[in-house]
Amino acid sequence: MKRLLVLSTLALLFVGCAKITPQEDSRDFVHITDVVPDVIMEIRYYGTYNFVGTRIDGYLAPTAMLTKEAADSLKAVSDDVKAQGFRLKIYDAYRPQCAVDHFVRWAADISDVAMKPYFYPFVDKSLLFEREYIMEKSGHTRGSTVDLTLFDMNTEKELDMGGTFDWFGEESHPDFCGNPDTGEYDPTVEHPRKITEQQFANRMILRRAMLRHGFKPLSSEWWHFTLKDEPYPETYFTFPLK
């Protein structure tokens, strides 16, 4: 009888532990503001000003989280840019898988183009999957990717990057109108929406600071960076932001 009780207890413990999968476990994550207290937060997916036009699934609070390792590296970036007269402004960081699923459902509904004038006026919505603006998996869901810009403490405005966060188009590429590896602006580029030399230089301030402190860039978004040595390169987390 005792043996049956022990086995039953172990079985219950196993079932209880099985419910806590690595994807649902947030113990290795921190709120960015706990590590970098002076960041500015504009969590676009908690509000309605984003390319979908509604609050995104999984964003239960206007907060941003990262793995501890990514947050520590972001603190080094913050100290770096602060010495140059800037603060970090966060648009998004960890993104639960249900949010990515929300994006996929929205992209599949070709008729919903309410936010097209603001985020993708020159791209047909039917091409969003093909051009990989929307994907079923996102690096954000691994917890070490952040979308951000710089806030100029002298002007008390966002630094002019020549484009908005989540703009679907080549204008968002880091190599648009210049070479991000050398930081050289290309004045010969002919494009109806080309950015200025100063706007390109502003993008490079953010990029260089992020690269100096262990982040790697994305070829299609000037605001998007992932920790090179991310602790969960194969894990897509599901816990909501709250």
Q: Which residues are catalytic?
A: 221
Look-up of token digits 């605001």: 223
Q: Enumerate residues 6+ apart whose C-beta is below 8 A from 6.
A: none
Instruction: Establish how many alpha carbons lie within 13 A of residue 164's alpha carbon, considering only the half-sphere containing its beta carbon.
Output: 13
CA distance 181 to 104: 32
Helices (H), the chain: 2-18, 32-35, 68-82, 97-108, 116-119, 197-212
| Dihedral pair phi/psi, residue 137, rounded to 5° | -130, 145
Q: Specify whether the CB–CB gap between 181 and 160 falls below 8 A.
A: no
Q: Specify whether the CB–CB gap between 99 and 136 falls below 8 A.
A: no
Instruction: Please give the structure tokens belonging to residue 63.
Output: 């907060």
Q: Specify whether the CB–CB gap between 110 and 126 falls below 8 A.
A: yes
Q: For the beta carbon of residue 63, count every other beta carbon within 10 angstroms.
A: 17
